[in-house]
Structures are given as structure tokens and as C-alpha cells.
Amino acid sequence: MSIHENIIAAAISGVKELYGAEVPEKMIQLQETRPEFEGELTLVVFPLLKLSRKSPEATAQELGEYLTDKCPGLIRGFNAVKGFLNLSIATAQWIKLLEEIEHSPKFGFLPVTEQSPLVMIEYSSPNTNKPLHLGHVRNNLLGWALAQVMEANGNRVVKTNIVNDRGIHICKSMLAWLKYGNGETPESSGKKGDHLIGDYYVAFDKHYREEVKELVAGGMDEEKAKQEAPLIKEAHDMLVRWEQNDPEVRGLWKKMNDWVYAGFDETYRALGVGFDKIYYESETYLEGREKVEEGLAKGFFYRREDGSVWADLTKEGLDEKLLLRSDGTSVYMTQDIGTAKLRFQDYPIDKMIYVVGNEQNYHFQVLSILLDKLGFKWGRDLVHFSYGMVELPNGKMKSREGTVVDADDLVATMIKDARRMSEDKIKKLEGITEDETAEIARIVGMGALKYFILKVDARKNMLFNPEESIDFNGNTGPFIQYTYARIRSILRKAREQGVVIPETLPATAELSGKEISLIRHLDGFTATLRQAGTDYNPACIANYCYELVKEYNQFYHDFSVLREEDADKKAVRLALSSAVAQIVKNGMALLGIEVPERM
């Protein structure tokens, strides 16, 4: 049992022996002792006064005396302040707890079995007409981190991606390539496939604007000009041909999409994310149409005079939602219904989490109700993991003008800056090779990017500052990584000196308040992990890791580890260092962040 559980059990026994009453666990309230009082944990006695029929001070005093008398191995002292019993825990308990943490490679993690709930998490959701950008980076990092957190909390997790591979925007890139591409390929141009296609999406917009401008100059109304421009008409014609399975259009569509997918895969590898299953809207939109027709037959939806199909959600406090256009074509909502159908066929989903920006909050409100009406058991309780926008200091991103903050450029810049910033530290390492230097720069650069984004509450808009993110001081990834590398260096030197951490730590070793505080912080990882899973909030883990290494650095500044002459103290401090490193590594891994063994 944990220290908390032992104290609760002892307090329940104490109340029974002192006052002849049985009390449920929930009446025994434990909290952190306030810093101005001596002790580590405080028992709140106010809920027990009806049983003791005594004053708060007398009740606290009697319980304190009982606990120190009956549980000498658990409590070494107490002080009673009004209705609060401040308890000082026996040193041996803290050492035993440290031993348990240090011996548990996955401390705080819950096991995953075949009976564990199945959670599906959708993230990324790119369009195949352009490369991934900074907004996608936040989405992918959040999705991956959330998947790791949910699995660490005892869930089976399936990571999925829905690719928007059909529609007018895809046809725009295809048409521009046909008109202006001269057969250019990723191989002939030396460009990643997603970048190549993105260039043609921008090219379409450039030529389309010129056509609109010419038509307006000739006297046409601007709105009409946007509809009558030859390029947009050709793009719509191409979309119709795609819908009709025209072999020539479909062939070009597949070839260009394959270029894009190869480019996406390269970016995903650089970001360290992946998926268990990828769905494509070109395969789900027809399934969605069928489900809508089924809902129409059952009276869930209705058809208007123009042939369009709608859902009336006014009873739910919402409005009416279009599901099929008058020409029978689907909308995004229909596609999401179709994707849900396919996913439910593939997996026995218990919970569905969509990682999508907060501009889609209303969409998922509606989707939840529609899926519930259509019989998906997880529909009503689906989770929209809604996140805010991410911007750079120099302003927002705009994709159509070609000024998007490209994910690949961002990754390359972060790694380059990490190498520059860490050069002085790295070149001091003995026997460092060029390959190892490059790998450390990659780990630090990606760690800086991921940590800076993930430490912020996902619901908030955020400003990503590359320079600030790569600082080796403050609440940054490199600061945490450097502390981990420092601890690993200490442990290596200890082994070189023939000093090993004993299997059983000396229970009689003296502990300072700083060491007890650090053990308590380590023990708090479990509660932090549970909170991150319950609240769907990876930022909890990020900020926990920062607070832990900050506390360790203060300890390391005040106390010697390798130069400590007392063998028992040295053993405990090495175990403490080892446990901190282990939990930092596990915590950062939940965020998809690697930690270097030296830097």
C-alpha cells in the first residue's frame, strides 16, 4: 500500500478504537501540509468531530498520539493546529517508496489487456493539395501525445488519420499541374511530392485571380467573375469527371496523391508520429450517403422539395443541418458519418476522440447527436479534443498565397538552431563523432519544438517562438533534456567508480527535507498521469517534468551525490537520481520527446 493508503487505514482503525465508530474512507481527508508547518501530510479532522464529540484540537491531538504510538514505522511525529493534524512521515517510509519507484520501470502506468477499453483517436487530417504546416504540427503532436497518455492509463488505443483526398481543392492542383507542369515530377524537380503539389495549388490560385481580375476589368461583377473564370469552370468539370470515375482523371488523381503521401510520410517520420489505420474520404463519402439514406428511411432526417436531405436538431437547441445537397452530393458531415461507419465495422470502439481545431466545435456537437441517432453506441459520448490556433511571432499563416509556415522547413530550422545553440556543450563531450553530434542536434531540436507546443493547454491559442523554445534555461525541452543527460552522466561515473545502487536501500539513512520533497514529487507522477488521461491534457505531463527537473537541480545544487562520504546517503541519492531520470524519460516519451544520454 502507498503512504496515503497506510495512513488512511491507520486513521480508520484509530477512530474505531478511540471513538467506537466505523468510518468510510471518504471521511478521512488527507492533503499536503502547508509549507509554514512541520510535516508532509495533513489529516483534516473536522469531518470526525461528530464521532469524537470533542473539540477540533482535542480530536487532532488524540489521533496524533494514537498514530505515533500504534504506527511508529509510519509516523515519526505530529503537530495539531486547530482541526488539522500535521503528520511527519517516518524516514523509512520515504526510502521504501523511493525503492519502489526506482525498481518500477513503468511507475504510474496501468497495464493494458485484451479487456481494456478501446479508444480510437483521430488526428492529422491533411488535405492532399498541400504540405503539412505549423497548424498540422500542433495537431499531430497533440494527437500522438494523447494516444500515449491514454495507453499509459490502461486503454487499448488505435491511432487513425482521415485524409481529405477528394474535392474541388484537389482538382485545382491537378488542373494546374496539367496546364503548367510540363510533366514535372518529384524526381525531376528534386522536391518532396507534397511540396510539388502545393506549388501547383498556389499556381492555380495565382492564375485564377488574374482571370477574375481581367473579367472584372471587362465590366463583369466580381462575384460573377469568380464563377465564370475559365479555370474554376475547368476545375468543376474535372471534379464531375472524378465523381463519374473517368479513368484519365482518376489515374492522374492517384499518381499525384501518391506523390503527396510519400511526402507526408517523410514529415510524419521527422515528427515521430504514425497511425495504425488511415481512412480516405474518397472511400468514406459514399458510405456516409448510404447511412444518411438509412436515417431518412427511419424518419431521423427529412427531404426538402429541392431533393436535399436535412437533420432537424432544433429540439436539441441547435439548428437544421444539411446532410445531402439537392444533387445528391455529400458534405463534410456526411463524410464523417461514413468514416464512423467504416471505423465501427473495423474496431469495437468504446470511445472516439477527434483531435480537431476549435473552429469545428459546432460541427462535432452536431456529429455527436447524429451518430447517436444512427445507433453508434459511442456517438453521444464522442470527445472533440478541441485546440486553439498556433502562430509565429510574425503573424498568421496563409496557405493559398504560398506563405504557409511549412512543417518541413520548421523541423529543419529547429534542428539547425539546436546544433548552433548546443555546439559549445556538445564539443566538450569526449570522443563525440559527427553522427552523434547530428543525432543530439536532432533530438534537442525536435524536443524543443514538441515541448514548447505541448506544454501549453491545448484549448488556448498559442504563439510559437522558435528562439525561446530552444533555450537551455527555463520551461523548455532542452532544459529538461540537459538535466536528464546530467543525471545519466552522474550514474555512469558512479559505475566507473564501482558504486552501484543496492537492491534494498538503507532504511536508516538520513533524509533532508529537500530529498523527501523530491520523493514526494516522484510519487506525484501517478496522479499527474491520471489527470492527463481524465482531462485529455498532455500539458499536465509536460509541466510535471519541468517542475521535477527544477526540483532536482535545486537538490543537486545543495547536496553532493558522488562526493558524499556517507555510503548510505550516497546510495539513496544515487537511487533518487536514477528514479528522476527514469520518470523524466517516461514522461517525455509520453509527449513523443526523446532524451539524449549525453549532451
Q: Is residue 396 scored above 90 in pLDDT?
A: no
Cell of 289: 450517403
For the chain, what percent of residues have pLDDT higher than 70?
A: 98
Q: What are phi and psi of 493, to 5 degrees?
A: -65, -35
- Residue 455 placed within a domain: no
Residue 395 above 60 pLDDT? no
Asked whether the CA dihedral 192, 194, 197, 203 is positive or negative, the reply is: negative
| Grid cell digits, residue 241 | 469527371
Give the gyration radius of the chain's Cα atoms. Answer: 30
Q: How many domains does the chain have?
A: 3
In-domain check, residue 430: no
Three-point CA angle 531, 537, 540, nearest 5°: 65
C-alpha neighbours within 13 Å on the C-beta side of residue 369? 17
Q: What is the CATH number of the domain that holds 487?
A: 1.10.730.10
Of 255-269, 278-292, 539-553, least confident by mean pLDDT is 278-292
Mean pLDDT of 394-404: 50
Residues 289 and 373 reside in one and the same domain: yes
Q: Model confidence at 398, in pLDDT bands (50, 70, 90)?
A: very low
278 is a domain residue: yes
Judge whether 428 lies within some domain.
no
pLDDT in tens, 328-356: 878 889 999 999 999 999 999 999 999 99
CA 324 vs CA 167, 231, 293, 344, 558: distances in Å: 15, 26, 9, 22, 68
Give the tens place of pLDDT for each residue, 105-141. 999 999 999 999 999 999 999 999 999 999 999 999 9
**For residues 491 and 500, what is the distance between their CA atoms, to the nearest angstrom?**
9
> Is residue 131 domain-shared with residue 184, that is, in the same domain?
yes
pLDDT band at 586 (very low <50, low <70, confident <90, very high): very high
Instruction: State the CB neighbour count (10 A cutoff) for residue 85.
Output: 29
pLDDT digits (tens, 9 = 90+) for 486-522: 999 999 999 999 999 999 999 999 999 999 999 999 9
The predicted-structure confidence for 279-294, as pLDDT tens digits, reads as follows 999 999 889 999 999 9
pLDDT at 403: 56
| Residue linked to cell 492529422 | 124
pLDDT digits (tens, 9 = 90+) for 427-482: 788 888 999 999 999 999 999 999 999 999 999 999 888 888 988 889 999 999 99
Q: Name the H helices within 117-192.
A: 134-152, 168-180, 186-189
CA–CA dist 294, 591 (Å, integer): 41
pLDDT over 90 percentage in the chain? 87
The three three-digit cell numbers of residue 173, written as one number: 492542383
* Averaged confidence pLDDT in the chain: 93
Residue 224 reports pLDDT greater than 50: yes
So what's the pLDDT on residue 401?
46
Segment holding 491, helix H or strand E: helix 477-496
Residues 122 and 74 in one domain: no
540 plus 578 within the same structural domain: yes
Q: Note down the domain range covering 46.
A: 3-89
Q: Which residues of 269-294 are buried (b: 16+ CB within 10 A; e: fewer)?
A: ebbebebeeebbbbebbebbbebbbe
3-class SS of residue 245:
coil
CATH of the domain at 60: 3.30.1360.70
Strands (E), 95-229: 118-122, 156-163
3-state SS class at 89:
strand
Q: What is the pLDDT of residue 471?
A: 87
Cell of 165: 483526398
Judgement on whether residues 38 and 176 belong to the same structural domain of the protein: no
Looking at the structure, do residues 504 and 363 belong to the same domain, yes or no? no
